């Protein structure tokens, strides 16, 4: 299964979000190979993660970081292995294409029943991207949350790191304003084509990956907001 070959060059964050969004639809035992790898050939480690019952093979650069965070917060087991057993690599290994020379052969070995502990040595640390979880969750005190844009999809929808943990149905029904780059988004829709009576083009909606997204009627919210990944999203409750 080819999830995508359209991650922009070097864009580890987009790869990490895409893996996070896609993996829950795969069954136990799935072996994922994820390769966005600007550090290929350097000292960056090749790693294998066993998260719950799924396997993830790729460079240790944060590409599996959002998934690891999700499994850890859910209290599920996470095992990390530094892939060191060159016997399972292609021979020779190039300095520019470990997808072909390291990660795919390791995934093939896994699929044939070779144990992770044979493919490498256990490790506990790995490179992590900035966590998705909101760092400061202000509450009634000043009635504000500080979130951020974590992904922009090909429709221009801006995915935030707000989840139902921060914003429940009641809060949203009571009225919430999001501020991004000086613009406000006040409408909320249950689905894209919902008629809300609002004249405003921009609205928020729960996206399929479980995060609140900012979208626009027949338009790109990212363009209207001049939003880029990482932009701050202030939530006024």
Residues in Cβ contact with 150 at an 8 Å cutoff, skipping those fewer than 6 apart: 13, 17, 132, 159, 160, 161, 211, 229
Compare residues 129 and 205 and give the one whose CB is closer to a second copy.
Answer: 205
Closest distance between a second copy and the C-beta of residue 105, in Å?
A: 10
The span from the CA of 134 to the CA of 64, in Å, is: 19
Residue number, 10 or 30, with CB nearest to a second copy: 10
To a second copy, the closest distance from the beta carbon of 134 in angstroms equals 22
Nearer to a second copy, 87 or 190 (CB): 190
The answer to whether residues 103 and 57 touch, using CB atoms and an 8 Å cutoff, is yes
Give me the least distance between CB of 106 and a second copy, in Å please: 15
Residue 99 backbone phi and psi in degrees, to 5:
-55, -45
The residue among 5 and 115 lying less far from a second copy, judged by its C-beta, is: 5
Q: Quote the CA–CA distance of 54 and 27 in Å, as a whole number.
A: 8
Report in angstroms how near the CB of residue 139 gets to a second copy at its nearest: 27
Catalog residues that contact a second copy under the rule CB under 8 A.
2, 9-10, 25, 38-42, 44, 94-97, 100-101, 154-155, 190-194, 205-208, 218
Identify whether the C-beta of residue 219 lies closer than 8 Å to the C-beta of residue 156. yes
Looking at residue 99, the DSSP 8-state letter turns out to be I
Rounded to a whole number of angstroms, the minimum distance from the CB of residue 117 to a second copy is 27
Q: ω before 92 within 30° of 0 (cis)?
A: yes
Kindly tell me which of 139 and 219 has the beta carbon lying closer to a second copy: 219
């Amino acid at each position: 299964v080819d999830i995508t070959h359209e991650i922009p060059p070097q864009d580890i964050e987009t790869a990490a979000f895409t893996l996070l969004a896609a993996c829950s639809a795969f069954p136990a035992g799935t072996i994922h190979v994820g390769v966005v790898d600007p550090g290929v050939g350097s000292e960056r480690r090749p790693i294998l993660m066993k998260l719950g019952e799924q396997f993830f093979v790729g460079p240790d650069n944060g590409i599996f970081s959002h998934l690891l965070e999700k499994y850890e917060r859910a209290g599920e087991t996470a095992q990390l292995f530094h892939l060191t057993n060159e016997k399972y690599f292609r021979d020779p290994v190039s300095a520019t294409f470990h997808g072909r020379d390291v990660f795919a052969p390791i995934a093939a070995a896994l699929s044939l029943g070779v144990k992770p502990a044979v493919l490498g040595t256990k490790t506990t640390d790995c490179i992590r991207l900035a966590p998705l979880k909101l760092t400061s969750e202000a509450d009634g005190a000043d009635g504000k949350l500080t979130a951020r844009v974590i992904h922009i999809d090909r429709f221009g929808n801006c995915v935030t790191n707000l989840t139902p943990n921060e914003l429940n149905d009641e809060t949203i029904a009571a009225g919430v304003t999001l501020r991004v780059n000086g613009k406000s988004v006040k409408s909320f829709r249950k689905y894209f084509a919902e008629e809300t009576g609002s004249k405003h083009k921009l609205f928020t909606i729960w996206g399929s990956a479980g995060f609140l997204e900012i979208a626009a009627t027949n338009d790109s919210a990212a363009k209207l907001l001049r939003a880029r990944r990482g932009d701050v999203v202030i939530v006024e409750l």
